[in-house]
Structure 1
Amino acid sequence: MINRVVLVGRLTKDPELRYTPNGVAVCNFTLAVNRPFKDQNGESQADFIQVQTWRKIAENTANYLGKGSLAGIDGRIQTRNYEGDDGKRVYITEVVADSVQFLDTRNGQNQPQSNDSGASNMNTPQTNNNENSGGYEPNQYSGPIDISDDDLPF
């Protein structure tokens, strides 16, 4: 079975960071993702997708992203349900992000921030929720990669 989601969009408001009773960080936000077509009036449409991050990625998302920030999300779709105050069953579908790419900064500059968990640019490795994910040094790649066209596989 495959359950994989990749999205690029802008946050509709600042992320909400909370902690579970066990002290685990969880961050929720909504990502506006443009549709690839326009409506009958020629206007662009967007989908507003609920996203959730956990642990260090949640903390970094809350610290480095804000309303209007451009972000790339890689994760999975999750559904859950609960009984509402009125006794009716409430169903929620959201994306649980395994990684978040900070494609611009909180203050709107177009230079991505780089840190060791969740933020990356073209020259730094991607971070994911798996804490035992290869053991790289986060600041190991600090400049352009010296590679010729002959070395590329495509």
Structure 2
Amino acid sequence: MDGWCKLKGMIAPKWCCHAFLLCKINSEENEISKNSRRNKIMFMKSVFHGRLTKAIELKHSNNGHAVCRFQLACDRYVGGDKGTITEYPSFVAWRGLAERLANNTQKGSELLIEAQYTSYKKNIEGEKYPITVVEFEVQSFDFCGSKKDGAAAPLQATAPASVPNKTPPATMDYSEPSYDDFEELEGNDNDLPF
């Protein structure tokens, strides 16, 4: 499946490197009221496909949780003569996801990431108003492309001792097939399921 990536059963083409915002309303009833708008849960997920702009650095929060922040280079089709432009969305991953990303990726690793939109206010010294920081919190990820293209993989522990000699393939027999192994079915053909 060269040219495609897979994330939780969803297939996405490699050229489709921009985010897809998938919104869904969960119609399950809750205990408050059947007629209330509060019984519908809305959520937003984004799927990104791109390459790491630099190696991920694993850090730890004040509580001791593993955390990493990184950016992906994702191409977005603009249309016409402009073609594509590259966007650099920011991501944050926590705990086990952060450790797996930091240990198994390197600069240029091709990833397919499922994330959730988050934002927060940040005070900058010398600025009158706080700025809004937008980043995507990683929910899951998959490697794309081949291992040589940047996705780190476990190395083979030992090299094979020797490569066995290849035997030439058998010649194909294009003669009339034998039907000796088949037997005639008794009964009505209408009883068959096909």
TM, length-normalised to structure 2: 0.52
Aligned to 2:138: 97
Letter in 1 for 2:94: W
Distance 1:14 1:106, change over 3 A: farther
Aligned to 1:74: 114
Question: Residue 64 of structure 1 contacts residue 106 of structure 1 at CA under 8 Å; is this kept in 2?
Answer: no
Identity within the alignment, %: 28
Aligned residue for 1:16, secondary structure, equals coil
Aligned to 1:45: 85
1-structure distance, mates of 2:62, 2:98: 16
1-structure distance, mates of 2:121, 2:148: 36
Aligned residue for 2:63, secondary structure, equals coil
2-structure distance, mates of 1:17, 1:38: 37
Distance 1:109 1:96, change over 3 A: closer
Aligned counterparts, 1:62-141, within 5 A:
62-87=102-127, 88-104=129-145, 108=149, 113=153
Distance 1:106 1:92, change over 3 A: farther
Shift, 1:66, TM fit: 1.4
Question: Residue 15 of structure 1 contacts residue 62 of structure 1 at CA under 8 Å; is this kept in 2?
Answer: yes
Letter in 2 for 1:92: V
What's the Cα RMSD here? 2.3
Gaps of 5+ in 2: 1-41, 155-194
Letter in 1 for 2:109: S
1-structure distance, mates of 2:146, 2:95: 20
2-structure distance, mates of 1:64, 1:90: 33
1-structure distance, mates of 2:147, 2:139: 21
Matched, 1:32 2:73: yes
Deviations 1:59-104 (A, max 9, x none): 1101111111100110100011121111431211011011111225
Aligned residue for 2:88, secondary structure, equals strand
Aligned to 1:22: 63
1-structure distance, mates of 2:126, 2:90: 23
TM, length-normalised to structure 1: 0.64
2-structure distance, mates of 1:59, 1:29: 13
Distance 1:39 1:55, change over 3 A: farther
Aligned to 2:48: 7
Shift, 1:43, TM fit: 4.9
Aligned to 2:101: 61
1-structure distance, mates of 2:150, 2:47: 23
Shift, 1:22, TM fit: 1.4
Aligned residue for 1:57, secondary structure, equals helix
Bigger Rg over Cα: 2
